[in-house]
């Protein structure tokens, strides 16, 4: 279990309560993590636990939630909301997270807060003013992509909505942007696939690949993997702003049909 304590940057509206308690789930990959955030207007304490990697989230998510709540002596009825990533990510992982969150939130009669997976990664990397490009491997030569402006430490503004792009299209759009800088910063679990593709000399006709490689900077540290703690902290901000959903309206966002669905449609 990882415990982190830090000051909150949230507004004064606390819905008449001295403390808020949120459960967060991150299941966009093969495994994932869960977190519990307890916050008041002065501080926030976040406890998190990774899901066991040897099994998928379908088998481990519910037991891990139950264990974390028990270890913290928190009754499910004390939760004020559930925050979760709804995409992009693994079809199976997103379905498991959404189904679990919906069932719990409906039973407890509490709202759900959606968090974009790339927003969670961006939140983990807001350290200095810069432009950041978040990427996740979407396979088939594509990436899930969004870009962000870090205004100051701890805050960011989304420049583009999350979308799925061909790698060639993404490189062209970034390099041709008027505000393109010398160094172009990439974060996220799509970095390895993107780097490998860029090593293919005939991959991008009409572009100087050596120059491109020298300008691209990759971050594949743990901060490039989405964590439930970030989902919890973003979720709390949005919960306070009433950016919540009825549990039954929550759906995973896949950004495209699965391979099976595409085959069935042809």
Of residues 207 and 110, the one with the higher pLDDT is 110
> How do beta strands 33-39 and 20-26 pair?
antiparallel
Side-chain half-sphere exposure of 54, counting CA atoms within 13 A: 0
Highest mean pLDDT pick, 10-14, 185-189, 218-222: 185-189
Number of residues in the chain = 266
pLDDT interval class at 9 (50, 70, 90): very low
| pLDDT 10s digits, 79-130 | 999 999 999 999 999 999 999 999 999 999 999 999 999 999 999 998 878 8
> How do beta strands 44-50 and 33-39 pair?
antiparallel
pLDDT at 6 over 50: no
pLDDT at 2 over 80: no
Residue 204: per-residue pLDDT? 67
Q: 77 and 108 in contact (C-beta within 8 Å)?
A: yes
Q: Which single residue is written with the structure tokens 């949120």?
A: 22
Q: What is the signed CA dihedral for 77, 102, 146, 48, rounded to 10 degrees?
A: 40
Q: 112 and 105 in contact (C-beta within 8 Å)?
A: yes
Tell me the average pLDDT of the chain.
87
Of residues 103 and 1, the one with the higher pLDDT is 103
| Distance separating alpha carbons of residues 39 and 78, to the nearest angstrom | 13
| Distance separating alpha carbons of residues 116 and 161, to the nearest angstrom | 10
Residue 153: per-residue pLDDT? 65
pLDDT at 54 over 50: yes
| Distance separating alpha carbons of residues 143 and 98, to the nearest angstrom | 22
pLDDT at 138 over 70: yes
Helix (H, G, I), strand (E, B) or coil at 195: helix
Q: Considering the chain, what percentage of its residues have pLDDT values greater than 90? A: 60
Residue 12: per-residue pLDDT? 42
Residue 206: per-residue pLDDT? 66
> How do beta strands 184-187 and 130-139 pair?
parallel
Side-chain half-sphere exposure of 90, counting CA atoms within 13 A: 16
pLDDT at 261 over 60: no
Of residues 178 and 150, the one with the higher pLDDT is 150
Q: What is the DSSP annotation of 100-124?
A: HHHHHHHHHT--EEEE-HHHHHHHT
Q: 46 and 233 in contact (C-beta within 8 Å)?
A: yes
Domains and CATH numbers, the chain: 2-118+226-265 (3.30.420.40), 125-223 (3.30.420.200)
What pTM, to 2 d.p., does this model score?
A: 0.89
| pLDDT 10s digits, 162-191 | 999 998 889 888 877 665 557 889 999 999
* 33, 69, 84 from 72: Cα distances, Å: 16, 5, 20
pLDDT interval class at 5 (50, 70, 90): very low
């Amino acid at each position: 279990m990882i415990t982190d304590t830090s000051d909150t940057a949230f507004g004064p509206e606390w819905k008449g309560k001295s403390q808020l308690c949120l459960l967060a789930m991150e299941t966009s990959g093969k495994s994932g993590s869960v977190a519990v955030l307890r916050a008041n207007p002065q501080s926030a304490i976040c406890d998190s636990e990774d899901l066991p990697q040897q099994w998928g989230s379908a088998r481990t998510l519910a037991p891990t939630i139950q264990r974390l709540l028990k270890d913290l002596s928190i009754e499910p009825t004390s939760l004020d909301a559930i925050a979760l990533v709804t995409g992009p990510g693994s079809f199976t992982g997103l379905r498991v997270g959404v189904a679990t969150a919906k069932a719990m939130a409906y039973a407890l009669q509490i709202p759900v807060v959606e968090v974009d997976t790339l927003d969670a990664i961006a939140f983990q990397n807001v350290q200095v003013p810069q432009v950041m490009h978040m990427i996740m491997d979407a396979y088939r030569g594509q990436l899930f992509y969004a870009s962000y402006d870090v205004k100051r430490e701890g805050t960011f503004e989304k420049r583009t909505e999350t979308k799925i792009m061909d790698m060639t299209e993404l490189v062209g759009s970034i390099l041709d942007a008027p505000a393109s800088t010398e160094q172009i910063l990439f974060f996220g679990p799509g970095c390895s696939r993107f780097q490998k593709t860029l090593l293919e000399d005939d991959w991008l006709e009409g572009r100087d690949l050596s120059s491109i490689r020298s300008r691209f900077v990759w971050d594949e540290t743990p901060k490039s993997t989405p964590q439930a703690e970030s989902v919890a902290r973003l979720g709390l901000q949005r919960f306070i702003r009433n950016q919540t959903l009825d549990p039954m309206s929550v759906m995973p966002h896949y950004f495209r049909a699965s391979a099976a669905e595409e085959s069935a449609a042809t």
